[in-house]
Amino acid sequence: MTIDVLTLFPDMIEPVFKHSIIGRAQEKGSVTINVHDFREFSVDKHKSVDDTPYGGGAGMVLRVEPVVRALRALEGHEQALKILMTPQGIPYTQSRAQTLSKNDHLIILCGHYEGYDERIRDYFDVEISIGDYVLTGGEIAAMAVIDSLVRLIPGVLSNAQSHEDDSFSMSLLEYPQYTKPRIFEGKSVPEVLLSGHHENINIWRKEEALKRTQKRRPDLYEKYLKKSEN
Ligand code: SAM
């Protein structure tokens, strides 16, 4: 998979993806993440990319020309799925991460300032929000999207790091996990996990996942029950 990110702050993104699982995924060739500064595509000598809004009002608006010029300079941009990061987009979920992880080429635009010239939207296929809150820019949002979808590309996680039990993958939150020591300040690891009885361990984990989801996320729990009925 290739991911091209259009941003005004490449330094915010590049160092983050040099590390850990996403860094190794790039070394292995499972994904190539290219970060582009779309200020390079400004149409004036001051390299500006924003301007005041028509009709007045607070803040600056991202201009359409630098974004479209940057987009068109990317190889394969016609076929790529083009994503615009915005709090006005569809809410991002694990199931959307799964769908996006199956694409060959993504282009992601990180906004800044007060917002986009509305005409920018015509050049993108999907608008994504990572939650009902407003960030100063799209970089952190784009990084969350990239991180969550790259780990789902086959071969990126080893079997030992499998994502199949992750929270949300079955509409349930993940069961509680423990590691050494067996007892810490009087708090013991549940006996069943020390039993070596895999069937009982699986039953316990499923029950705990159900209990936890029902308590913390009744909305997800209802969804799970509906899915199980069908
Ligand atoms: N005034 C805009 C509005 O109300 O929709 C918000 C602009 S925000 C300050 C600047 C940029 O940050 C956005 O264009 C978007 O790229 C990014 N951003 C902020 N919150 C986001 C969120 N929840 N999800 C995705 N991107 C977000």
Q: Per the structure, how many domains does the chain have? A: 2
CB of 92 within 8 A of CB of 37? no
Based on the fold, state whether residues 103 and 216 are members of the same structural domain: no
Separation of alpha carbons 148 and 96, rounded Å: 10
| Same domain for 146 and 59 | yes
Same domain, 203 and 118: no
Pair of tokens at residue 39: 């200020």
Rounded distance between C-alpha atoms, residue 65 and residue 50, angstroms: 10
DSSP 105-124: EEEEE---TTEE-GGGGGG-
Q: Are residues 27 and 126 in the same domain?
A: yes
Answer yes or no: is the C-beta of 53 below 6 A from any ligand 1 atom: no
Mean pLDDT within 217-229: 94
Which of 90, 134, 140 for a ligand 1 pocket mutation test, highest count of atoms within 8 Å of Cβ?
Answer: 134
Q: Which range marks the domain in which residue 220 is found?
A: 165-229
Contact 3, 32 (CB under 8 A): yes
SS3 content of the chain, % helix, strand, coil (to 5): 40, 20, 40
User: Could you tell me the two tokens for 193?
Assistant: 């996990």
Q: Has 151 been annotated as catalytic?
A: yes
Same domain for 137 and 197:
no
CA-proximal residue: ligand 1, atom 1 (nearest): 114
Tell me the whole-structure pTM to 2 decimals: 0.94
Q: Whose CA is nearest to atom 21 of ligand 1?
A: 87
Domain end point (choices 150, 176, 206): 150
- Crossing angle of the two packed helices 139-150 and 20-28, in degrees rounded to 10: 60
Whose C-alpha lies nearest to ligand 1, atom 26? 86
Final residue of a structural domain among 89, 116, 150: 150
Distance 108 CA to ligand 1 centre (A): 13
pLDDT tens digits for range 95-105: 999 999 999 99
DSSP class of 54: T
Handedness of CA 230, 171, 207, 151 (dihedral sign): positive
Per-residue confidence at 162, pLDDT binned at 50, 70, 90?
confident
Q: Which of 4, 10, 87, 208 is catalytic?
A: 87
Residue 160 clears pLDDT 60, i.e. is over it: no
User: Is residue 219 located within the same domain as residue 111?
Assistant: no
Contact 140, 114 (CB under 8 A): no
Cα–Cα separations (whole angstroms), residue 104 to 46, 89, 141, 184, 197? 36, 22, 20, 47, 42
Q: Which CATH number does the domain housing residue 54 bear?
A: 3.40.1280.10
| Pair (201, 224) in one structural domain | yes
Clarify whether 119 is annotated catalytic: no
Residues 135, 216: one domain? no
Ligand 1 pocket test: pick from 6, 8, 85 the residue with the most ligand atoms within 8 Å of its Cβ.
85
Report the Cα 105 to chain-centroid distance in Å: 15
Is the same domain home to 140 and 175? no
Secondary structure class of 159 (helix, strand, coil): helix
193 with 204: CB under 8 angstroms? yes
Would 155 be classed as within a structural domain?
A: no
- Give the nearest ligand 1 atom to 111 CA: 16
* Ligand 1 pocket check for 141: Cβ under 6 Å: yes
Q: 129 and 23, same structural domain?
A: yes
Higher pLDDT, 160 or 80: 80
pLDDT > 60? residue 173: yes
Taking the centre of ligand 1 as the mean of its atom positions, its distance from the CA of residue 92, in whole angstroms, is 14
Specify the amino acid at residue 91: P
Is residue 160 one of the residues assigned to a domain?
A: no
Say yes or no: 169 and 145 in one domain.
Answer: no
